[in-house]
Structure 1
Amino acid sequence: MLTVHHLGKSQSERIVWLCEELEIRYELKRYARDAATMLAPSDYKALHGIGTAPVITDGDLVLAESGAVIDYIIARHGGGRLALKPDHPDFAQFLFWYHFANGTLQPSMGRNMILNRLRLPEDNPILTVTRARVDRAFDLVDARLREAEHLAGREFTSADIMTGFPLTTMRYFLPYDLKRCPNILRYLDRIGRRPAYRRAMEKGDPGMALLLT
């Protein structure tokens, strides 16, 4: 049985959303963050050696890393749906945006989040550079969504699922004003109206305000 181990307010929301979009059978196990540290509890960390979300189990398999988990579920349980094949005209765009989420956008946000906690002076050059990188990443997403309905192009794909977390829930940890990104705001409005997204968020993080604006 495929089991999604979901840590609240974490990247594992991607996996719940994926399963809902694919409409496959899965078991959801929810874990709350430690109230004092806001980190994963010890029983979640014990699931996999990396100690971070997401984690799935499928029979004897224990698998972590968002991209690996999404690829595995699509291939083994989803019949290849929500991934574009090499002969698709939007294949290259799909690959770029699928990997951009955890390769560029989220790491840039994460570095900025850590630097903010250091309470550096506003004119610190490292802080200035990291903030500029976050802005460039958001600008790139916004520019793409000015010309395409979804990140890969015409079709909703797992690239949208990968990118949803840094555009939304990640902003609980690094607030970011999206008023400067009107195309992202329109995109998130469309995402927020997807029934599978709504089901996933209600199951995984019931009562959490969705950062879609």
Structure 2
Amino acid sequence: MLTVHHLGRSQSERIVWLCEELGIPYELQHHTRDAQTMLSPPGLRALHPIGSAPVITDGDVLLAESGAIMEYVIARHGGGRLSLPPGHADYPHYLYWLHFANGSLQPAMGRRMLIGRLQVPADNPVRRMAEERLDRALRVLDARLAGTTWLAGEEFTAADIMMGFPLTTMRHFAPLDLGPYPHILAYLQRIAARPAYRRAMAKGDPGMELLLT
């Protein structure tokens, strides 16, 4: 049985959402953050040396990293659904946006969050650079969504599942006004309308406010 080890308010929501979209059987194992540090509890750290979520077990397989898990689950349990094959016209877009969330957007959000917590002055050149890089990433994303329904094209894919976390739940830790990016906001409403997304969030983080605006 595929077991998803889920830490509340974390990237592991992607794997729960993926399983719901694919309609595959899985067991959901909840882990709770340390009340003081807000970090992973000892049980999750003992499961995998990296000490963060998501982690899955699948028979003898133990795997971390949300992107790797997404590809594994799609290939092993999803019959390739929610991915695009290399011969598909939108395959390059699929690959790019599949990796954009963790490769570009989340690092930019994380830098901005840390600089803010360190109370770096607004006129500091490092802070200005961090703000500019985040805005650039969001404008690239907004421009893409101005001309297409989903990130890879007109077909919903795993790239959209990867993108959901930084645009929604991560904003609980790194507040971000998406008002200047209307196409991202419209995209979030399309995500909100997906029954599998709603089921996943209700199972993984019941009661959490969904930051979809």
The answer to whether 1:70 aligns with 2:70 is yes
Aligned position for 1:186: 186
The answer to whether 1:8 aligns with 2:41 is no
Aligned position for 2:54: 54
Aligned position for 2:34: 34
* Residues 8-55 of structure 1 deviation map (CA, whole Å, 9 limit, x = unaligned): 000000000000000000000111111111111111111111111110
Q: How many percent identity over aligned positions?
A: 66
Deviation at 1:122, TM superposition (A): 1.1
* Residues 115-154 of structure 1 deviation map (CA, whole Å, 9 limit, x = unaligned): 1111111111111101111111111111100000000001
Question: SS state of the match for residue 5, structure 1?
Answer: strand
Number of equivalent positions: 213
Deviation at 1:96, TM superposition (A): 0.4
Of 117-126 and 198-207, deviating more is 117-126
* Residues 144-200 of structure 1 deviation map (CA, whole Å, 9 limit, x = unaligned): 000000000010000000000001101111111011111011110010010000000
Aligned position for 2:80: 80
Structure 2 unaligned residues grouped into runs of 5+: none
Which residue identity is paired with 1:14? R
Give the TM-score normalised by structure 2.
Answer: 0.99
Which residue identity is paired with 1:53? A
Which residue identity is paired with 2:14? R
Structure 1 unaligned residues grouped into runs of 5+: none
Aligned position for 1:165: 165
Pairwise mapping of residues 79-158 of structure 1 onto structure 2 (< 5 A)?
Answer: 79-158=79-158
- Runs of 4+ that moved beyond 3 A: none
Question: SS state of the match for residue 175, structure 1?
Answer: coil
Cα distance in 2, alignment partners of residues 164 and 137 from structure 1: 15
